[in-house]
A and B are shown apart, each in its own frame.
Chain A
Amino acid sequence: MPDKIDLLETVELLETIAPERYELREPPAYEFTLSRREFVEVAGAGLLITVTGSVARAQRGGPSRGGGTLESRLHIAEDGAVTILTGKVEVGQGSRTELAMAAAEEMRIPLDRVRVVMADTDLVPNDGLTAGSRTTPSTVPAVRAAAAAARELLNALRQGAKGNAATYADLARSSELAAAYKQTPGGAAATPVNDWRVLGKPRYRLDGREIVTGAHHFPSDVRRPGMLYGSVLRAPSYGATLAGVDPGAAAKLPGVTAVREGNFVGCAAPTSYGARKGLEAIAATARWETRPHPSSATLFAHLKETASKPGGTRAPRVQSKGSLEEGLGQSQYRLRAEYHVPFIQHAPMEPRAAVAEWTDGRLTVWTGTQNPFGVRDQLVQAFHLTPEKVRVIVPDTGGGFGGKHTGEAAIEAARLAKEAGRPVSLRWTRAEEFTWAYFRPAGLFEIEAGVDAKGLIRAWDFTNYNAGTAGLESPYRGANVRTRFYYCESPLREGSYRGIAATANNFARECFIDELARAASADPLEFRLANLDDSRLRDVLLAASKQFNWRPRGTTDRRPGVGRGIACGTEKGSYVAACAEVELDGKTGQPRVREFVMAFECGAILNPANLRMQVEGSIIQGLGGALTEAIDFDNGQLKNGSFAKYRVPRFRDVPPFEAVLVNRPDLAPAGAGETPIIAVAPAIANAAFDATGEPSRSMPVRTKA
């Protein structure tokens, strides 16, 4: 009964809530390491609502139910203001506003009475990485559960109060609370969708004024007294090792502190300019040993050559059912094709940045990361500290897209600050961010399938080299299926990305589906509907094709050089379909998008304004991967590691498009930051296929001119 998921999950979470009286004049009772002074600075005096593990640690999984660590989620100040504490970060995806809305809804208070303290490891519960579209399905329910429990508790107290007129503020100051907080509230239900007054309504970012006035301080804007600026020596190519260097070359310059420890070489100076000059002096003394390294020209052969073997430590992941042989035997049409997806870079507007400060052996780092507790742990490990000695604070950051799960800048800034004895700000250059941040994995796909005379898929054999497993399983009906994933040796550093492997898997699959439809002389939309059972996926296909005014192939006159394509997919509990019309450039033959429609469904919509921005942003960002983005490298060096050479979507690239948001108030909300992007490239590639008659089997889409 999928329409009950929201409620059931919430009830389950609520059962584990055990509010605790948190007396701020006493030492902290649990592992909460903030001092009273620090907390009062953040949230003011008042009540701290503490919840148990499975609510607080909603995303981390594991056996936390019943007796998990108590962690603090919600604070009511003596003026009645509510502060929500979360380990999630805001990188532009709208989590801060969404979590504030969740608390305001359940506390029955105006949105402007809620503050959200995010990603300060001294203050907040560990909510895991901000990744995998998990804030909506995991952290929002946790916050709603805590807020609903607090509301019920306070209401119970209010009913006991004289005159029934007590406000949250009165209650927060009340001396009767100590006794009340010893009682565990009964199951406080989250507010049903029909009764929502805050959730479900469009809200833009709450701190818009700080952003438009320049008052908001991003990680790279943090300034500390006596702060220096850092610069770090990088290798000239992948795989190069440092044979010798003289950091003393920089130490001669005024105000410059230089350090070498193992492979780490860097310097700090009173200005970025000074740090660059210092680093130039050091770099001039560096001797490197380089080694041959694969190039993008040979990338896909390299992936195949290095693919994991059965039985090895990273054995291929294989899932199969039925018999491919039988399925192919039942097929009238049998096709086989190979698809390529290159490395691409996230290139968030704000590169990796950190400010590190050591005070009495304790390290504080302000940094832009999607993984605050992970970065804290990396710092603990790097500097042989205990977790209590490290505090990581993530100010709302200038973009992530899955590209900031690591703590390189934090560690580097901390090492320089340790050497200099002063705070150090380190902001990677764009060239560093392009070259040394990690990439979305490249992938090679081999697919073979068979379709019977009725246009039904009878056999599906899908092999993915290196791209990753998200979205690997086909949503299409099939009795004879084999799905394989091979680990490969990646020539470049690779990691997460918005939608990560689902984009690559869905590209290969959805393009191949169009090849099958063509072989069977079927319309691509009809072919999909005939092979899909999932009603949510069918619904978005129908919604997108209706809005796009899709006409079955062969029923309309063809315009030369113009094609129309469709694609769909499901990932992370949400559903997407897209239609594109492209026109081939008269000179280059490259497709240009003339019209684009996407339908997206992620259950009950929590914030339609933010959802629209996530979907629109995914469409436009996805145009980059679909049409222009691919990392070009040769013998260990990046050939296009700059915005001048690596073409990301700009204003002029935005085609006429429409985003249809399908609301399903009967279903639990799923995350929306990633899945929309997986339908963009295949819809465009399929439109190019329609225009040229030749399948486009690589990202970015290239047609034969």
Chain B
Amino acid sequence: MTTTFRFTVNGKARTVKTEADRPLLEVLREDLGLTGAKYGCGEGQCRSCTVLLDGKPVTSCVAPISAAAGKKVVTIEGLAKDGALHPVQEAFAAEGAIQCGYCVPGMILTTAALLERTPRPTDGQIVDALNGNLCRCCGYPRILAAVRRAAEMRGGANAGQD
């Protein structure tokens, strides 16, 4: 049983005819060729698969494609605008917040959403927002530094320790 779903991915209108219970992650990766979102656990526990759905971070490995119908999806491939990196992307590269890099797209999108709602997060707010995102290289200190830097770059000076 297939259904037709219409949604926007990285600003582009997309139509997919597929099973309604297929994970959004697999439609993005397999049907649309957007492999930036990663499979890490398939149960929403590691958030490597994070994409933005109408601006909110969701675990696309457990979100069915039907949940994206009529909505705007942003993946890591859609974050840079006209070749200019998003401040969060720039901050992750500049702070070297990358070891194997597999968790990084999910970390960046989660951070981008955090800074939208909380432009000047405290360290506590950063840790709370990212606690669901696993990094097995355990590069958390560099990632924290990158999020602080991204907040500064966006103009909200970091509120510092809480």
> When the two chains form their complex, are residues A621 and B100 in contact, meaning their CB atoms are under 8 A apart?
no
> When the two chains form their complex, are residues B92 and A208 in contact, meaning their CB atoms are under 8 A apart?
yes
In the complex the two chains form, what is the Cα distance from A616 to B145 in whole Å? 13
Partner of A620, one of B38, B98, B130, B138: B138
- Residues from chain B with a CB closer than 8 A to the CB of A651 are 127, 130-131, 133, 140, 143-144
Surface stretch bound by B, among A343-351, A556-564, A690-698:
A343-351
In the complex the two chains form, what is the Cα distance from A396 to B26 in whole Å? 22
Interface membership of A220, Cβ < 8 A:
yes
Interface membership of A241, Cβ < 8 A:
no
Interface membership of A613, Cβ < 8 A:
yes
> When the two chains form their complex, are residues B137 and A617 in contact, meaning their CB atoms are under 8 A apart?
yes
> When the two chains form their complex, are residues A349 and B98 in contact, meaning their CB atoms are under 8 A apart?
no
Nearest-neighbour CB distance to chain A for B71, whole angstroms, equals 20
Nearest-neighbour CB distance to chain A for B129, whole angstroms, equals 9
> When the two chains form their complex, are residues B43 and A349 in contact, meaning their CB atoms are under 8 A apart?
no
With A213-B89, A643-B43: A349-B38 Cβ-Cβ less than 8 Å:
yes
With A92-B99, A93-B99, A218-B102: A652-B131 Cβ-Cβ less than 8 Å:
yes
> When the two chains form their complex, are residues B134 and A621 in contact, meaning their CB atoms are under 8 A apart?
no
Say whether chain B's binding surface is mostly helix, strand, loop, or mixed.
Answer: loop
Of chain B, the residue at the smallest CB distance from A203 is B96
Interface membership of B70, Cβ < 8 A:
no
In the complex the two chains form, what is the Cα distance from A430 to B85 in whole Å? 31
With A649-B138, A652-B127: A204-B98 Cβ-Cβ less than 8 Å:
yes
Residues of B in contact (CB 8 Å), total 60
Per-residue CB proximity of A392-408 to B under 8 Å, as 1/0?
Answer: 00001111110000000
> When the two chains form their complex, are residues A617 and B138 in contact, meaning their CB atoms are under 8 A apart?
yes
Nearest-neighbour CB distance to chain A for B83, whole angstroms, equals 10
> When the two chains form their complex, are residues A642 and B100 in contact, meaning their CB atoms are under 8 A apart?
no
Q: Which of A197-250 contact B (CB under 8 A)?
A: 204-205, 208-209, 211-218, 220-221, 223, 229
Of chain B, the residue at the smallest CB distance from A429 is B42
State the total of A-B contacts with C-beta under 8 angstroms. Answer: 175
With A205-B96, A430-B43: A212-B104 Cβ-Cβ less than 8 Å:
yes
- Residues from chain A with a CB closer than 8 A to the CB of B43 are 430, 642-644
> When the two chains form their complex, are residues A654 and B141 in contact, meaning their CB atoms are under 8 A apart?
yes
Of chain B, the residue at the smallest CB distance from A399 is B100
The CB with the most chain B CB atoms within 10 A, among A211, A399, A618, is that of A211
In the complex the two chains form, what is the Cα distance from A651 to B43 in whole Å? 19
> When the two chains form their complex, are residues A212 and B46 in contact, meaning their CB atoms are under 8 A apart?
no
Nearest-neighbour CB distance to chain A for B61, whole angstroms, equals 10
Nearest-neighbour CB distance to chain B for A672, whole angstroms, equals 13
> When the two chains form their complex, are residues A214 and B36 in contact, meaning their CB atoms are under 8 A apart?
yes
> When the two chains form their complex, are residues B39 and A427 in contact, meaning their CB atoms are under 8 A apart?
yes
> When the two chains form their complex, are residues A399 and B137 in contact, meaning their CB atoms are under 8 A apart?
yes
Interface membership of B75, Cβ < 8 A:
yes
Interface membership of B55, Cβ < 8 A:
no
Of chain B, the residue at the smallest CB distance from A433 is B41
> When the two chains form their complex, are residues B140 and A620 in contact, meaning their CB atoms are under 8 A apart?
yes
Partner of A398, one of B85, B96, B100: B100
> When the two chains form their complex, are residues B38 and A398 in contact, meaning their CB atoms are under 8 A apart?
yes
Nearest-neighbour CB distance to chain A for B96, whole angstroms, equals 3
In the complex the two chains form, what is the Cα distance from A595 to B98 in whole Å? 25
In the complex the two chains form, what is the Cα distance from A221 to B3 in whole Å? 26
Of chain B, the residue at the smallest CB distance from A431 is B42
The CB with the most chain A CB atoms within 10 A, among B30, B93, B137, is that of B137
Interface membership of B119, Cβ < 8 A:
no
Partner of B136, one of A215, A348, A396, A609: A348
Partner of B46, one of A211, A349, A618, A652: A349
In the complex the two chains form, what is the Cα distance from A93 to B98 in whole Å? 10
> When the two chains form their complex, are residues B41 and A211 in contact, meaning their CB atoms are under 8 A apart?
no
Of chain B, the residue at the smallest CB distance from A623 is B138
Of chain B, the residue at the smallest CB distance from A617 is B138
In the complex the two chains form, what is the Cα distance from A346 to B37 in whole Å? 21
In the complex the two chains form, what is the Cα distance from A221 to B132 in whole Å? 23
With A349-B38, A651-B131: A272-B100 Cβ-Cβ less than 8 Å:
no
Interface membership of A271, Cβ < 8 A:
yes
Of chain B, the residue at the smallest CB distance from A221 is B35
Interface membership of B11, Cβ < 8 A:
no
- Residues from chain A with a CB closer than 8 A to the CB of B26 are 271-273
Per-residue CB proximity of B66-108 to A under 8 Å, as 1/0?
Answer: 0000000001110110000100011011011011111111001
Interface membership of B40, Cβ < 8 A:
yes
In the complex the two chains form, what is the Cα distance from A349 to B93 in whole Å? 19
The CB with the most chain B CB atoms within 10 A, among A272, A346, A401, is that of A272
Shortest Cβ-Cβ A-B pairs, 10 listed:
A214-B36, A92-B100, A398-B102, A204-B96, A620-B138, A214-B76, A211-B101, A643-B45, A208-B93, A92-B99
Jot down 21 A-B pairs with beta carbons below 8 A, ordered by A: A91-B100, A92-B100, A208-B93, A208-B96, A212-B85, A212-B93, A221-B38, A271-B31, A348-B100, A349-B46, A396-B100, A396-B101, A398-B100, A430-B40, A430-B42, A609-B96, A616-B138, A617-B139, A644-B45, A650-B132, A652-B131
